[in-house]
Structure 1
Amino acid sequence: MSETELLQTAPVSISPAESERTPLIQQWAARHGIDAARRLAEAEDLADAVAQQITPDNTLDTYEKSWRVWERFCAATGLPESEGSRGALVAFVTWMLREGQHNGSGYAPASADTHLAAAVIGLRQRGHHVSADDQAAARKALAGLEVQLLKDGERRGRGKAVAGDIDGLYAIARSCPDTLTGARDKSLVLGGFHYASRASEPAGLLTGDVALRPRGLIVSVLTGKTKHSVRNARIAYQQDPEVCPVWAWRHYRERLIAEQGEQWADPSTPAYVGIDRWGHLTGGMGPDSVTRAIKRISARAGIPIAWTGHSLRIGLASTSRKKGKDAIAIADQGGWARHSRSMLGYMQIDDGWDDNASAGLT
């Protein structure tokens, strides 16, 4: 998760520590009376509870992991955990890049960026002051150290996932076996490509979340990652049935019910089911199993660089851009914020010639 995504998913207001709230309550009491101050304090408690409830589990998990990294840093350097000063934060990013991982190697800059942002949030949640200038100094140091790594010929991290494309969809459709697993695989990839799915999204779909309409499918995607992820993605019938996600969905669901029973038509059942090597159902698919399935499916199709769980998401943005689709329509389909930097980056994944500022000037 990037720093930008962390800031998007963090609660709008960070809960102040009790020591910081006490003067505020005293001010309320002076202005409005004791009873009103008590009710305002109760409203603050409610706001904290709501913020906790609506923060996605994966974001909370990131906070916890990053805070443990901060604790390890403080233990290694002898610095207090309660101080997010300029020097401490710069030392934190330096330590992460040099030796921060458990095995003594350095983190990739992107991971260090995530841990920095989450550690700052963790400090503030615990009532410790971190100024904007101190954060900026740490980010500037991180950017400079990343450039130095590149100059030294060191590149860390997995890099961006390869983008899915139309040729890959055809290869996958043709390689899926005539089995229930093959029908599920085909629907999983074709459908996920057309609504720019993250791996967590098909894993979270229920049968009732996918509605067949005269012109195609409406997929109700609710991940809770950002407010833009709550969307009804419309997937129209495609001209070529071979790679049509609507026909793939219909075939998969008809086969699932015919072979495994009418109970799988219940709206509360998982939309995509796990299937073992012997053809036995194992329940709903999880995000990790979706990622492994997409990698396996693309490898079976002979795609040179295996797709990952994010390839479908990148593929929708980049392919739609090449087809001349409006950026706002792409954002709405994939659940991005309009003018999202990550979406714009996906749109620019090509050979650098067609979408070039110097092309066609004279």
Structure 2
Amino acid sequence: MHGDARQMLVAGGADVVDAELVDEGVAGAELAVVGRDRHLSPETVAAIAESVAASTRRAYGADRAAFASWCAAEGRTAVPASGETMAEWVRHLTVTPRQRTKAPAGPSTIERAMSAVTSWHEEQGHPKPTMRGARAVLNAYKDRLAEAKAAAAQPKQAAAALPAQIRAMLAGADRTTLSGKRNAALVLVGFATAARVSELVALELDTVVETDHGYDVTVYRKKVRKHTVNAILYGTDPATCPVRALRAYLDALATAGRTEGPLFVRVDRWDRLAPPMTRGGRTVGDPAGRMTAEAAAEVIGRLAVAAGLSGDWSGHSLRRGFATAARAAGHDPLEIARAGGWVDGSRVLARYMDDVDRVKNSPLVGIGL
């Protein structure tokens, strides 16, 4: 059987290697080394997966499972995939309605799925598949959507929570209650630090330090793997002053007996610190009562809806609002990026600031029309 090639799948789907079957001797020993060199243990695969945000892992997991299922149905190899397989799969995504929306996936969703599959190859020790054909298919799809004036042609963005919107959101909140104080602090600290909701709920009480200027809040930015120390300053309007809101919330927590642990915690319907959640007699979630990122995002959405604000409100609304408002106030893009933990050259941040710059820096300004 010398000269025949056979594909070997490592148990658990951790890796796929190409191996040549040989008779015996040194060649067999070399084969063992090659196979071992291309192997990733389940623990290492898990460690690689943990390098990305939980929400991204969930999305990538769903994308990879869907790709593997499609490949199985089509008789194609998922990993390593050929450029032809990638092109066919992307075309499939552009024409196949999804169960939830009854329409094909939008370009941004397909971009994410492509990234999920190409990064999957890297995690398994394979080079990325050739994406030239897949990219051409996606570009043609974008053109068709734009020509049809389809809503999917425009990137979906969270509504920006600017100071005026934040005032409206907090105007109807009962800030005499523990939950109301928590929600006000969550919104205003989230805006002042430009934190992702996952970063916001990860804050601990000991990461908040009172200073002469207000507070310093240390945020771990997982996307750039750095801590930023964000200065929380007094606002000109007491109703939207992040320092006053945070102090009121911290005082309420201390009164309730909470002086350590997570900063943003669950509050029950009776306006008390919620006890640990259990399911089947076992504790689920954070035993200290930490809010989840989903719960924090729901707070922002509920406040926006109660204020009668239109648009797509999510946990990212505070982050987008910070970038837009800071740029409108004339702050340097580099300082905005550093304060909010955006990666250098972030296209997302550039898109947020374009809301301001396309008018403020328009070539039409000052040309005498």
Q: Give the superposition deviation at 1:85.
A: 2.0
From 164, 169, 176, give the equivalent of 2:166.
Answer: 169
- Superposed CA deviations along residues 264-293 of structure 1, whole A, max 9, x for unmatched, are 112xx1101122332132222101101110
Provide closer, same or farther for how the CA distance between residues 317 and 294 of structure 1 changes in structure 2, counting only shifts above 3 A.
Answer: same
| CA–CA separation in structure 1 for the residues paired with 2:51 and 2:115 | 19
* 1:84–1:128 contact (8 Å) kept in structure 2: no
Does 1:219 find its partner at 2:213?
no
* 1:198–1:310 contact (8 Å) kept in structure 2: yes
Provide closer, same or farther for how the CA distance between residues 356 and 117 of structure 1 changes in structure 2, counting only shifts above 3 A.
Answer: same
**Counterpart for residue 107 of structure 2:** 109
**Counterpart for residue 198 of structure 2:** 200
Provide closer, same or farther for how the CA distance between residues 109 and 165 of structure 1 changes in structure 2, counting only shifts above 3 A.
Answer: same
Q: Give the superposition deviation at 1:80.
A: 2.4
* 1:164–1:311 contact (8 Å) kept in structure 2: yes
- Superposed CA deviations along residues 214-259 of structure 1, whole A, max 9, x for unmatched, are 112221112423335x32222222233221101100011112222x
Q: Which moved more, 1:180-189 or 1:314-323?
A: 180-189
Does 1:64 find its partner at 2:70?
no
| CA–CA separation in structure 1 for the residues paired with 2:158 and 2:209 | 30
* 2:158–2:312 contact (8 Å) kept in structure 1: no
**Counterpart for residue 339 of structure 1:** 345
Provide closer, same or farther for how the CA distance between residues 63 and 299 of structure 1 changes in structure 2, counting only shifts above 3 A.
Answer: closer
**Counterpart for residue 274 of structure 1:** 266
| CA–CA separation in structure 1 for the residues paired with 2:151 and 2:73 | 25
- SS of corresponding position for 2:298: helix
| CA–CA separation in structure 2 for the residues paired with 1:60 and 1:306 | 23
| CA–CA separation in structure 1 for the residues paired with 2:121 and 2:345 | 30
- SS of corresponding position for 2:266: strand
- Superposed CA deviations along residues 79-117 of structure 1, whole A, max 9, x for unmatched, are 222352222111111111211635674212111110111
Letter in 1 for 2:242: P
**Counterpart for residue 3 of structure 1:** none
Letter in 1 for 2:235: Q
Letter in 2 for 1:335: G
TM-score (normalised: structure 2): 0.78
- Superposed CA deviations along residues 54-81 of structure 1, whole A, max 9, x for unmatched, are 4444443333222112112213433222
- Structure (1 or 2) with the greater helix fraction: 1
From 229, 233, 236, give the equivalent of 1:232.
Answer: 229
Q: Give the superposition deviation at 1:17.
A: 6.4
Provide closer, same or farther for how the CA distance between residues 167 and 56 of structure 1 changes in structure 2, counting only shifts above 3 A.
Answer: closer
* 2:48–2:123 contact (8 Å) kept in structure 1: no
**Counterpart for residue 10 of structure 2:** none
Higher relative contact order (CA 8 A, sep 6+): 1
Provide closer, same or farther for how the CA distance between residues 353 and 237 of structure 1 changes in structure 2, counting only shifts above 3 A.
Answer: same
Matches for 1:192-341 after TM superposition, within 5 Å: 192-227=190-225, 230-258=227-255, 260=256, 262=257, 264-266=258-260, 269-282=261-274, 283-305=289-311, 307-341=313-347
From 131, 137, 144, give the equivalent of 1:135.
Answer: 131
Q: How many residues align?
A: 325
Q: Give the superposition deviation at 1:18.
A: 6.4
Q: Where do 5+ consecutive residues of structure 1 fail to align?
A: 1-14, 21-25, 31-36
**Counterpart for residue 147 of structure 1:** 143
Provide the alpha-carbon RMSD of the alignment.
Answer: 3.2
**Counterpart for residue 357 of structure 1:** 363
Q: Where do 5+ consecutive residues of structure 2 fail to align?
A: 1-13, 20-25, 275-288
Provide closer, same or farther for how the CA distance between residues 327 and 352 of structure 1 changes in structure 2, counting only shifts above 3 A.
Answer: closer
- SS of corresponding position for 1:87: helix
Percent identity, aligned pairs only? 26
* 2:337–2:344 contact (8 Å) kept in structure 1: yes
**Counterpart for residue 72 of structure 2:** 75
Provide closer, same or farther for how the CA distance between residues 100 and 277 of structure 1 changes in structure 2, counting only shifts above 3 A.
Answer: same
Letter in 1 for 2:259: A
From 85, 90, 93, give the equivalent of 2:87.
Answer: 90
Q: Give the superposition deviation at 1:341.
A: 1.5
| CA–CA separation in structure 1 for the residues paired with 2:295 and 2:246 | 19
Provide closer, same or farther for how the CA distance between residues 360 and 149 of structure 1 changes in structure 2, counting only shifts above 3 A.
Answer: same
Letter in 1 for 2:333: A
Letter in 1 for 2:268: D
Q: Give the superposition deviation at 1:325.
A: 0.6
| CA–CA separation in structure 2 for the residues paired with 1:105 and 1:143 | 18
